[in-house]
Amino acid sequence: MKASISYPGFQRLRAAPLWKLLAAANAPAIIAILAEHLYEADHGMRASEFYARVDRSLEELRATGVDMPSTAREYASQWLAQGLLERTLPYGSDEEVYSLTSASVDAVRFVTGMGRPRAEATESRLQLVITALDGLEEDTDADVERREHRLIEEQSRIRRELEAVGRGEVKVLDKDTALERTREILTLFSGLVGDFHRVRDSFEALNADLRRRIMECSGSRGDVLEDVFAGLDLIRLSPAGRTFFAFWRLLNDPVESARFEEAIDAVLSRDFARDLTVEERRMLRTMRRNLLERGGDVHDTTKRLAQGLRNFVESRQYLEEHRLNRLLTEAMRAGIDAADEQSPVRRTGIELSRTGFTPRSAGQMVLWDPVTYAPPPPVEDGTPPPLDLSAVGERIARSEINIRELRENVADVLSRKDQASVGEVLEAHPAKQGLGSVVGLMELALRHGIPGSGTESLKWTGLDGRERSATVNQLFFVKDKIDELTRIY
């Protein structure tokens, strides 16, 4: 496309929230804050918690020399006005909730993606394109003979594969290719986050448009209700609505859901999955749950909008809104007419006193009590207690998890076997720090171990001498990764 044709569109996009965020002088700090606190928050964050967390992040950034002079509340107001944040009041809640808009999600994904090394072209991405093209070509082909020929070829291929399997010949992907395909799947999954936000924004925009049309409707209540129900159909039949509800039906189909879960469990049990990072394994394990949560938010939004529109009309609230809109329009028209006869800056000679005041009751007054504000007694110098080095060492041991000792315990157990679970390490070396030792072993296993397929019961004695137990997902230490522990710690 010629530059003269595409330029106006790009000029309009420059005023969009996404472009303005990326072009902002303090964009790195803003994106870092939004990514830390809201990008992974499935249901947003309560306002008070958001303010507290952002204030802490601002202090940390200022300590590194970043110029962020305002408070979290002030920045939140700015980001709301700029279209970077969305603020809602959930039904039954007493506090507003902040969440990212689709523009902010796209900005975080774009910037974080720039920091990750990625091959320009991979075999798995090419295979995805080829498979999609083959499917498109086949599904749009109306020629009966070609379809019959294609099905016969597919039947022959399946027969050959069955014969090979019968002979014990099975072709599997090599480890590098399998890892590559897994990461492409995770990349596609990450893109769905922004898609859900865009669908939700589309529904919100449709809802605002419907309310505007209801306000402008001058017909009877029946006519308005007819417009509402037509509008609800418009939401369901819009491109975003058709796409989302088709996806939602597929995600909630029992057969497809079972296949989805079985496929994830099977992939995680393969040998190549051990080379995935902890975060990648977590994304795979929680993929369907995250999809249901994200989709559920959008589904709840559609139900909330539909109920809100019905209540808006059935409660006749729209009539009051319509009356206020008419009065405002008449006042503006009268002001325009008056401006032709009188200058808007002409002195009238009338003084107006402000009507605002703060009423206070005499019962609110509190008498001064000198005893309450008496100066405290002077502080006397005390005799410092003797320094007990053993007691100091014990306190340090209790306040900090002894990772080095835990690593040595794992190495000791792996010197006698090829792999060991967290529970087996605890049996050989009891938890000296109680729950702290258990948490430290779980952290080491998550970082440098491999996940199991079941659960395990852990038992230990707390620092108070009481026996405790917990059931956790199985995690194994393997001898092949003991050097990794030694190198890091």
pLDDT (tens digit, 9 = 90+) per residue, 60-110? 999 998 888 889 999 999 999 888 898 887 767 778 889 888 888 888 888
Q: What is the pLDDT of residue 214?
A: 66
489, pLDDT greater than 60:
no
Confidence of residue 235 (pLDDT cuts 50, 70, 90): low
> Widest CA span of the chain, in angstroms?
105
Specify whether the CB–CB gap between 268 and 451 falls below 8 A: yes
Take residue 38 and report the two structure tokens written for it.
């809201």
pLDDT (tens digit, 9 = 90+) per residue, 447-470? 888 888 888 888 888 777 788 888
Q: Work out the average pLDDT over 111-120.
A: 65
Question: Which one-letter amino acid corresponds to residue 73?
Answer: R
User: The whole model's pTM is what?
Assistant: 0.47
Take residue 22 and report the two structure tokens written for it.
């990326």
Burial class (CB in 10 A: 0-12, 13-18, 19+), 193: buried
Q: What is the mean pLDDT of the chain?
A: 78
Q: Which value, in Å, is the radius of gyration of the alpha carbons in the chain? A: 32
Rounded Cα gap, residues 263 and 268, in angstroms:
9
Q: Work out the average pLDDT over 141-165.
A: 84
Among 436, 432, 433, 445, which residue's Cα sits nearest to residue 472? 445
393, pLDDT greater than 60:
no
Q: What is the pLDDT of residue 187?
A: 78
DSSP designation for 382: P
Provide the terminal-to-terminal Cα distance of the chain, rounded to the nearest Å. Answer: 56
The percentage of the chain sitting over the pLDDT mark of 70, rounded to a whole number, equals 77
Confidence of residue 58 (pLDDT cuts 50, 70, 90): very high
Q: Work out the average pLDDT over 206-228.
A: 63
Rounded Cα gap, residues 293 and 309, in angstroms:
24
The H or E element containing residue 46 is strand 45-46
Specify whether the backbone of 209 is left (phi greater than 0), alpha (psi in -120 to 50) or beta.
Answer: alpha
Q: The domain 5-113: what is its CATH number?
A: 1.10.10.10
The H or E element containing residue 200 is helix 175-216
pLDDT (tens digit, 9 = 90+) per residue, 159-211? 888 888 788 877 877 888 888 888 888 877 777 766 777 777 777 777 777 66
Residue ranges of domains in the chain: 5-113, 119-141+172-313, 397-484
Take residue 81 and report the two structure tokens written for it.
């006005």
Rounded Cα gap, residues 174 and 128, in angstroms:
17
Specify whether the CB–CB gap between 297 and 196 falls below 8 A: yes
Q: What is the pLDDT of residue 316?
A: 64
- Between 131 and 312, the higher pLDDT residue: 131
Q: What is the pLDDT of residue 360?
A: 67
Take residue 266 and report the two structure tokens written for it.
């099977």
- Sorted by sequence, the CB contacts under 8 Å of residue 154 that are 6+ apart come out as none
Specify whether the backbone of 210 is left (phi greater than 0), alpha (psi in -120 to 50) or beta.
Answer: alpha
DSSP designation for 298: H
Specify whether the CB–CB gap between 45 and 98 falls below 8 A: yes
284, pLDDT greater than 80:
yes
pLDDT (tens digit, 9 = 90+) per residue, 1-40? 678 788 888 888 888 888 888 888 888 999 999 988 888 7
pLDDT (tens digit, 9 = 90+) per residue, 305-361? 777 766 666 666 666 777 787 788 888 888 887 777 777 777 777 777 766 656 666
